[in-house]
Amino acid sequence: MVDKAYRAEMEAHANQLRLAKQCKNKPQQTGNQTDHTHEHNGKQEGDSPVKQLRPRWAFVFGVLLAGVLLFVDSPAAIYAQNPSDALEAGTSGDTDLAYAIFYLQLGEYELVLDVLDDVLADDPFNASAYAVRGTAYYFLTEFEYAIADSKTAIAIAPDYSMPYWTLGDVYFDLGDYELAQSYYMKYVDLTNNTPHPYVVDQVRRCQLVP
C-alpha cells in the first residue's frame, strides 16, 4: 500500500507539473526519437467496447505485479515495490520512473508522458521508460505511439516481457486478434509460463474469435 506521506509527496509533484504546463508549453523533442506532441485527438477510452469487458486497473496492476522495470534488482524496481524509498533518492532517472509509475496508477497519463519525455531526453536507451510510456499511450488510445514505444523497448531489450503485453492489448483493441495472441504468448514465454491471469484470459478471448 502507498503510505499517506508518499502519496502526498507524489501529488504535490503532480501539482507542480500541472502548474508548469499552465505557465508554458513543453518544447517538443527533436532528433532521432519519435516526436510526441501530446495533442491527443484520438478517440476516448469510453469509445472502446473492449475496455467495458475488463477493469482498467487490471493492466496497471499486472504491470506492477509482474515487474514494470527491466532489471528486478535495479533501484527503480525497488522503488516500485517500496515507493516511499524513491523520495530519498534525489532526482535521478530511477526516481522519475517511480513518479511515472505512481501517475500511471492514478490514471494521470499526461503526467506520465511529461516525466518520461524528460527521462528519455537524458537516457534515450531506457527500455523501462519506453515501456511505461507506451502503456500510458495505450490508455490514452494513442495506439500508434503505444506501438512505437513498446517496439522501441523491445528493440533495446528483447527479453523484456511487459512491452509484449502492451502490444497484445493494443492489437486486441484494434481487432487484430491473431497478432494480439502472438504478443500475449511471447509475454507468457518470457514470464516462464507464469503470466498474469489477465493475459491468460485475453489469450482465451483471442482464441474464441471466429
pLDDT at 91: 44
CB-based contacts of 169, cutoff 8 Å, min separation 6 = 59, 138, 180, 202
Name the fold adopted by 4-15+49-208.
1.25.40
pLDDT at 23: 59
Per-residue exposure over 123-162, b if at least 16 CB sit within 10 Å of its own CB, e if not: eeebbbbbbbbbbbbbbbbbbebbbbbbebbbebbeebbb
Residues in the chain with pLDDT values less than 50: 1-2, 24, 27, 29-32, 34-35, 37-91
CA–CA gap between residue 1 and residue 3 (Å, rounded): 6
**Cell numbers standing for residue 209:** 474469435
pLDDT at 106: 80
pLDDT at 87: 43
The CA-based diameter of the chain, rounded to the nearest angstrom, is 53
pLDDT at 174: 96
In total, the chain counts a number of residues equal to: 210
CA–CA gap between residue 96 and residue 84 (Å, rounded): 13
